[in-house]
Amino acid sequence: MDQFQQQAKLFQQKYNQVSTVRLLSFVGAIISAFYVGRLAGHWGWGALAFVIGIGIFIALIKRHNRIVYQRNQYRFLAQINQEEILRLDNQLKDFADGNQHLPQGHFYASDLDIFGRHSIFQLLNRTTTQRGEQTLAAWLLNPARPKEIQARQEATQELKEMLDWRQAFQARGKHGQAEGIAINQLFDWGAESPKIMNKKWLVLMTYIMPIVSLAAMIIMGIGLTTYHILFIPMFINGLFLGMTFKDIQNTHGKTDKSSATLKSYTQLLKNIEEASFNSDKLQKIKALTATETGTASQKIARLATILANLDQRKNILFSFPANFFFLWDIIWVTRLEKWRQTTRREIVGWLKAINQMEALNSLAGYAYANPAAVIPKISNQDYVIEAANLGHPLINGQERITNSVTLTGLGNTMVITGSNMSGKTTFERTVGVNVVLALAGAPVCADQFTVSPMQVFTSMRTQDSLEENISSFYAELKRLKQLIDHLESNPRLPVLYLLDEILKGTNSQDRHLGAKALVYQLHGHKATGLVSTHDLELGILEKQTDFIQNYSFNSQIEGDKIFFDYKLTPGICRSFNASKLMQNMGIEIEKVKALNEDISKEETTKASND
C-alpha cells in the first residue's frame, strides 16, 4: 500500500509540472500570434503561429490526461488495499450496503443480512460497475445449478492467485465509478433508431461544407476577398444545425457523462483480453470479448472518443466556430449512430464479460483475504448439509465460535432449544449464510462443508406494521404461509427452512399447538430445517416421531454472572437464564418470588384449615 501511495505522489508531482507548462504554452500561443503577425505584417502568419501553439497545448493536454489516469490508478490501488484491511477486521460500515438489490418478501435475504449494514454483500463486494454489482447481488439471491457452481468455484480459485491482475482490474473500474449510473442512459439510447445517419444528403454535407469553409478562409487569408465571405458557410451550416438541433440535443443528453465510465470499460475489457486463463468459465468470459474486426476494448475506446468529441459542444468558445464552419455536432452524432449500428449486438456480450468477471473477482478477493475458508463440496444427494467447525463470516475470527452440524434426508426437523442470548439465532443464521455462499459459488466459513442444491427460507425478523395495521404475530403467520405456499407449489429445489422463536407472539398453549402442527405439516413436504424455540414441550416430539432431533445451547450462572459457551449440544436445554438477566437489568425478580412464596403458603394454610 505504501508503494502505491508513493507512486501516486510521484505522478502528482508530474501532474503539477505539466499543468504549469500547459498554461505557459497557451499564453505563449496568444503572445506569439500577436508578435509574429505584427512582425510579418499579416495576421495570417499570426494565426499560423497560434495554431502551432495550440497544437502544442493539445499535446500537453493528452500528456496531462495520461498522468492523471496513472496517478488515480495508484490512488485506487492504495484505496483497494486499505479497504481489504478494513474487511479483515469486519469494519464494513463505509462500504456500499446493496440495499437497493433487496427484493420485498425475499425468502432469506433480510433475515440473513445478505444486504444492509454489516452484511455479506459488504464483505464480498469488490465490483465497480453498477451492472457488475447487480450480477453479484443476483448470485447471492438465487442458488445456482451444480454445474454453474463448480464453474464459479474453479474460476474463483484461479483468480484468487492472480492478486496483481485482480487489483489492477478493480482499480481500472474505479476510474468511471462516479458516472456509473449515466451508463444506463447510454445503453437505453443504444436501442433507439438512428435520427441523422439515414439522411444521406445531410451526411454528404458533413464532407462538403468543411471544405467550403476552409476554402473561404484561405481565399480571405490570401487577401482575395474580405471576411464577409465567411458568412456564406456559416449561414448554410446554421440551417443544417437548426434542422438537427433537437435530435442532437436528445442524443447528447442520453450519452454525456458516460465518457469516463466508457474509458474504464475499455481498460476492463483490455485486462480480460490480455489475460491468459485456464478455467472453463474464465475462458468463456474472455471469448465474449472477441469480435470479427478488432477487439472489444478498441471498439469501446472508439465510442469513448466519439462521445468525448461530441461533449466538446459544451465549450461555447470551441463549439461555435467548430459547428458553424465544420458541422462538428452533426459529424460526431453521425459517427455515434454508425458505431451503434455496427456494434449494438456485440455490446451485450462485452457487458456480460465485465459483469461476470467483476462478480468472480469479488468471490476471489474474499477467498484470498480468508485463506481458512474452504471450497464447499456440492453433493448430488437429495438433501445433505455436513459441516465441520462452521462459523459466521461476519463475526471476527478471534471471537467466532464454530459448531459442527449434519442434516440429511427430507422431512426432518432439528428443534433447537436454549436460554436467552445463548446462540440459537446466530447458529441458524450461520447455517443459512454458508449455504447461500456455497450455492453462489463462494468459499464458506468452515473446515469442511458439503451441501446439496436447496432453497433457503427463513422466518426470523417478522415485524409489525402500523401502516398496514399488522401485528408482529400476524406478520409471522403471513411469512409462514409464504413458506407453505411455496412448498405446495412443488418447487424444483428442496427447502431448508430456518424458523426462529416460532410463533413467539401468542400464548404458550397456542404456541405449542401451532408449532407442533407446523412441524408435522412441513414433514410432509420437500423440506428439512431448523426450528429454534423456548417451548420445551416441542422437544418431547423427538420421542413420538422419527423425524425430529433435539439440540440445544446452554448457559451457566455463577453468582450474578451468566456464562455462554455457544456450543451446540444434543438434547433439550436444561439451563435457563431469563430471570437472572431480568434481575441484572434491575427488575426486582426476588421480591416477586418472595411474594409468590407468601401467596403459596397462605393458600396451603387455608387448604389445611378447610
Q: Name the band, by pLDDT with cuts 50, 70 and 90, for residue 582.
A: very low
* Residue 323: inside a domain: yes
48-to-30, 101, 317 alpha-carbon distances in Å = 11, 57, 19
Burial class, 463, CB count within 10 angstroms (exposed 0-12 / middle 13-18 / buried 19+):
exposed
pLDDT at 484: 94
| pLDDT over 70 at 181, yes or no | no
Q: What is the largest CA-CA distance in the chain?
A: 136
Taking Cα atoms as reference points, which of 286, 75, 258, 84 lies closest to residue 171?
A: 75
Task: For 196-238, give the DSSP string.
Answer: STT-HHHHHHHHHHHHHHHHHHHHHHTTSS-GGGGHHHHHHHH
> Which amino acid appears at position 418 of this protein?
G
Cβ neighbours of 29 (radius 10 Å):
19
User: Does residue 323 share a domain with residue 206?
Assistant: yes
Q: How many residues does the chain have?
A: 610
Q: Which residues pair with 564 in a beta bridge?
A: 555
Domain shared by 352 and 383, yes or no? no
One domain for residues 388 and 334: no
Domain boundary among 357, 390, 424: 357
Tens digit of pLDDT for each residue in 182-213? Answer: 666 777 777 778 888 889 999 999 999 999 98
Query: Per-residue pLDDT averaged across 312-319, rounded?
Result: 81
pLDDT in tens, 229-252: 888 989 999 999 999 999 999 888
Q: What is the mean pLDDT of residues 541-564?
A: 79
In a domain, 43, yes or no: no
Residue 275 Cα distances to 62, 142, 346, angstroms: 27, 29, 20
Between the CA of residue 481 and those of 196, 362, 477, 487, 510, what are the distances in Å?
56, 35, 6, 10, 17
Pairwise CA distance, residues 288 & 346, whole Å? 9
Same domain, 335 and 384: no
Look at strands 561-564 and 555-558 and give their pairing: antiparallel
What's the pLDDT at 135? 96
The per-residue pLDDT for 604 is 54
Domain containing 351 equals 177-357
Does residue 90 sit within a domain?
Answer: no
Say if residue 420 is in the same domain as residue 569.
yes
pLDDT for position 348: 82
Whether residue 319 sits in one domain with residue 189: yes
The bridge status of strand 377-378 relative to strand 384-390 is: unpaired
Based on the domain organization, do 246 and 385 belong to the same domain?
no
Split into its structural domains, the chain has a count of 2
pLDDT at 466 over 50: no
Residue 441 contacts residue 156 (beta carbons within 8 Å): yes
Decide: 5 and 72 in contact? Cβ < 8 Å. no
In a domain, 471, yes or no: yes
329 shares its domain with 189 = yes
Grid cell at residue 574: 436444561
d(CA 412, CA 415) in angstroms, rounded, equals 10
123 is a domain residue? no
pLDDT band at 596 (very low <50, low <70, confident <90, very high): low
The predicted-structure confidence for 398-439, as pLDDT tens digits, reads as follows: 899 999 999 999 999 999 988 777 789 999 999 999 999 999
Quick check: helix, strand or coil at residue 610?
A: coil
| Average pLDDT value for residue range 125-153 | 95
Are 206 and 328 members of one domain? yes
Where residue 580 falls among pLDDT bands split at 50, 70, 90? very low
Residues 331 and 381 in one domain: no
The pLDDT of residue 43 is above 80: no
**607 inside domain:** no
Neighbouring residues of 112: CB distance < 8 A, sequence distance ≥ 6: 120, 429, 432, 433, 436, 456, 458
Report how far apart, in Å, the C-alpha atoms of 322 and of each of 223, 234, 310, 315, 603 are.
23, 10, 11, 10, 103
Query: Does residue 298 sit within a domain?
Result: yes
Does residue 495 sit within a domain? yes
C-alpha–C-alpha distance, residues 599 and 200, integer Å: 101
DSSP 465: B
Q: Give me the mean pLDDT over the 9-38 stretch.
A: 72
Task: Assess whether 534 and 425 both reside in one domain.
Answer: yes
Among the candidates 328, 357, 386, a domain finishes at 357
Q: Are 446 and 402 in contact (CB under 8 A)?
A: yes
User: Cα(25)–Cα(46) distance, rounded to whole angstroms?
Assistant: 15
> Which domain CATH number covers 511?
3.40.50.300
Interval 495-515 mean pLDDT: 81
Residues 417, 506, single domain; the answer is: yes
What does the pLDDT read at residue 467?
44
